[in-house]
Structure 1
């Protein structure tokens, strides 16, 4: 007998099924929350405190919805830290969050108990859909993650980062030339610089101009990723929604097509290198050894291997350009910092262009780098780990399966550690132990209150590229301020220097300012000549 069901009948059936699934999900959440309260807590221990009203469905209320904002220094997580102290817990859908807001708590739980606190939540949209399950950032803590992390570390450790300095030297000379000839486009010049450095290290190819289509593709991809990762998706809070019929899984509609574009980008670069190697063309880049030696041993797909190399490019390009543009915002908004940098550079290097050899002799420039990483951390997200065993901190009990959050903006804007935290003030680091340490030394320092900032995260999931980032930011900052007077343009209405909204930032996970105006005036004719000569070096010294 032929079916008499209509399309409308099918839609109604799917709707009722979806409603039933969601209702069951609500019941599951209620059970999870209240059963969780009755779960065993060892004698003498207690759960972290919770803010009033934040026990049930707090992640779905006006109190805290988990979405990123344009001013994370005043987010609800930061405000709760001010009220409740160094550790507290909230409920995000079916997930318990424990939020850490003191250097001591982060050091103990993420570093010293790292075997229990280094995994990740299942991220059903950013990992499962947009990334196809391939992105290292979201991988659970296990053998595959450790193997990939070891390979990435080999490419980005201190020795390898030192090997990239010649590339950074030449690319930063090109950056100065671009600023000299096209200052209004400063926004994109650092994108070219940062992407070219990591692209050359990874795949042995350069980004020569801001019009390179690969540059556009990389930043289109990072923009989509930042948008996706910066949202709290309903299915991540309520996993029962995965039981919906696939056509009703709305979170797939947008991001599945973007995954195909992302895969096409990363796999295309991988295939291009394969073709070059087949022709006998080699540069000694990271992906050559990875392709020939590491990847065959790992037993992973070619797509996964391409994502390992691709997400290195993603991370190494976007964060540096966001941070340098935040630095320029700090320079024009706090002009006294430019004067102090000029004074130090004139005394130490004089008329010659600064180099990496000047690192130890330029404490104010080093302090500038640390300060911008504190003042405007390039991630708007709160670094989140997943506990895979019970964790004890002081008399607090954190059960296995808890999302543990490093409250980066509360740490970086702690007025005790960083007085007047909203000011861009490199002086705060002068004379401190932190300013005499590299980024890696600060991350591993035993006394957590000697750490410079938490912009690179903490524990075994700390940013792998901190050596490369520190070197790039140092040479760019030193050369930018050696070459140029950086200042705010005159407001034609008031006749005074332009005033800036220091929180004019998009509410996305990757955190950098919206476009703003700045002036770059070369300091003298001798510096202009050196900048112009640098272009010839750039053209001649790279293949």
Structure 2
């Protein structure tokens, strides 16, 4: 190669590397250079993208454990983005909670948020488009709503106990039916009456969406989405997935929307809040559909997984559940004098509440939160983070900041805050972007954990299923 082309290639590489320089390596608005915590050096241009990709498939979370060794905070450059992994409860509280007003936006994701979700899933939307959706969803946290929805949670839980009695071998399917049915009733107002295929399609919407986050190089180099559409070779695949997702959503949404328009819809979040004129929601019909359906997605999947983890813990640590059953027997009676636990028992069944928290700490469903992006430059303990820097909670490391962290020990949560599932636990996020339905989720976990412990004896079988008997 002659000198001319070689120089041209070097100059081109330099220009590209400067254009796609990671956010954390850029100067602050006032001209100062950034100063970031230590972290892996990574590859030129790509940073640690390949390590992150490998780590996402690792059930032992080696990548997250490795980066936690750098200290309370670790800088990881990922394409044009910079993530600061928060590895201790202290820095999560400082950055996500105390500085939540300036760390509550998201970085652009042209694939996962744009093409796959049509900019409708609030989980990964930036602050300017998320805040209006948040305002509407906030009604889910009101006391009156929790009381009304609590009646449905108790009824669906009773149905789940009957299902356990007649089909114990399908225990994990009962968890999913409960979780999906109760949130379906809360959001859309009707008991669940969907086919197996319809339920599978909705579950796949969750799976494919989560799988799309960070799967495309475009989400790590968002500026590439500005290329003319004829050059966007990736577009057809992801848009096809987004179109399919839209059709699945619409098949659930259209019937309830028609009922609301005709005045025949039952009480629900959609009828009484989302489409209520008094709410004055500024979104269009598509925004409403995505908002409603994402609540069903989130409310069903996480509850199902948490109940499955609880069963695993029950088999591995029977002593904790014997203690829990004793607590329930003391409050709810024993034998012929027993009654099922109800939601108003929560204050008196604090060990059950502690079990719910320990389930989420012991085997976190979300090992890392979506990035909390700085909407301004941040100075923190000698470090300087430029606007656009992302902060990510390393749930694996933070959840292990306790004695004998590998053991399932609900007693570690018996500290006076048992009934607040968000206190000391970050599985629902934190700051201003904490999951709006976390109290609903807590109540679903409480009522079902309490009743399962009271009524069911779980024993490991020789084949990969459970042997289940009804408690006397």
Q: Calculate the TM-score normalised by the size of structure 1.
A: 0.78
Q: Secondary structure at the match of 2:275?
A: helix
- Sort the Cα spacing of 1:37 and 1:383 in 2 relative to 1 into closer, same or farther, 3 A: closer
Q: 2:349 aligns with which of 354, 358, 362?
A: 362
Shift of 1:155: 2.5
Counterpart position of 2:175: 190
Q: Distance in 2 between matches of 1:395 and 1:488?
A: 52
Q: 2:100 aligns with which of 114, 127, 130?
A: 114
Shift of 1:270: 2.9
Does residue 79 of structure 2 align to residue 93 of structure 1? yes
Deviations 1:196-253 (CA, angstroms, capped at 9, x unpaired): 11111111111257x4554233212112222222x43211222354366646645434
Q: Distance in 2 between matches of 1:60 and 1:250?
A: 24
- RMSD, matched Cα: 2.9
Shift of 1:190: 1.1
Shift of 1:32: 4.9
Matches within 5 A, 1:152-167: 152-167=137-152
Q: Distance in 1 between matches of 2:380 and 2:105?
A: 18
Counterpart position of 1:403: 390
Q: Distance in 1 between matches of 2:22 and 2:300?
A: 45
Shift of 1:46: 6.6
- Sort the Cα spacing of 1:277 and 1:454 in 2 relative to 1 into closer, same or farther, 3 A: closer
Matches within 5 A, 1:127-206: 127-142=113-128, 144-206=129-191
- Report the count of equivalent residues: 459
Q: Distance in 2 between matches of 1:37 and 1:438?
A: 39
Does residue 247 of structure 2 align to residue 261 of structure 1? no
Matches within 5 A, 1:368-379: 368-379=355-366
Deviations 1:282-312 (CA, angstroms, capped at 9, x unpaired): 32211013223267x4443311111111111
Q: Distance in 2 between matches of 1:265 and 1:29?
A: 41
- Sort the Cα spacing of 1:325 and 1:463 in 2 relative to 1 into closer, same or farther, 3 A: same
Shift of 1:67: 4.9
Contact 1:48 1:87 in 2 (8 A): no
Counterpart position of 2:308: 325
Q: Distance in 2 between matches of 1:300 and 1:357?
A: 36
Q: Distance in 1 between matches of 2:460 and 2:215?
A: 37
- Sort the Cα spacing of 1:522 and 1:405 in 2 relative to 1 into closer, same or farther, 3 A: same
- Sort the Cα spacing of 1:41 and 1:101 in 2 relative to 1 into closer, same or farther, 3 A: farther
- Sort the Cα spacing of 1:323 and 1:250 in 2 relative to 1 into closer, same or farther, 3 A: farther
Contact 2:105 2:127 in 1 (8 A): yes
Counterpart position of 1:228: 212
Q: 1:383 aligns with which of 370, 383, 387?
A: 370
Counterpart position of 2:459: 487
Shift of 1:422: 1.7
Q: Distance in 2 between matches of 1:216 and 1:115?
A: 38
Q: Secondary structure at the match of 1:439?
A: coil
Contact 2:115 2:238 in 1 (8 A): yes
Contact 2:23 2:386 in 1 (8 A): no
Q: Distance in 2 between matches of 1:487 and 1:77?
A: 33
Q: Distance in 1 between matches of 2:316 and 2:331?
A: 25
Q: Secondary structure at the match of 1:438?
A: coil
Matches within 5 A, 1:243-254: 246=229, 249-254=232-237
- Sort the Cα spacing of 1:481 and 1:284 in 2 relative to 1 into closer, same or farther, 3 A: same
Matches within 5 A, 1:513-524: 517-524=465-472
Counterpart position of 1:536: none
Q: Distance in 2 between matches of 1:365 and 1:456?
A: 19
Counterpart position of 1:218: 202
Q: 1:293 aligns with which of 264, 277, 280?
A: 277
Counterpart position of 1:439: 421
Counterpart position of 2:445: 473
Q: Distance in 2 between matches of 1:276 and 1:165?
A: 24
Q: Distance in 1 between matches of 2:190 and 2:352?
A: 30
Counterpart position of 2:5: none
Q: Distance in 2 between matches of 1:36 and 1:185?
A: 49
Structure 1 residue ranges without an equivalent (≥5) = 1-19, 443-450, 492-515, 525-543
Contact 2:24 2:389 in 1 (8 A): no
Contact 1:195 1:316 in 2 (8 A): yes
Q: Secondary structure at the match of 2:57?
A: coil
Shift of 1:360: 1.7
Q: Distance in 1 between matches of 2:207 and 2:28?
A: 43
Q: Calculate the TM-score normalised by the size of structure 2.
A: 0.89
Shift of 1:313: 0.8
Q: Distance in 1 between matches of 2:353 and 2:121?
A: 32
Deviations 1:68-87 (CA, angstroms, capped at 9, x unpaired): 23435x43233222x22112
- Sort the Cα spacing of 1:46 and 1:191 in 2 relative to 1 into closer, same or farther, 3 A: same
Shift of 1:116: 1.4
Shift of 1:433: 2.9
Shift of 1:88: 2.5
- Sort the Cα spacing of 1:471 and 1:141 in 2 relative to 1 into closer, same or farther, 3 A: same
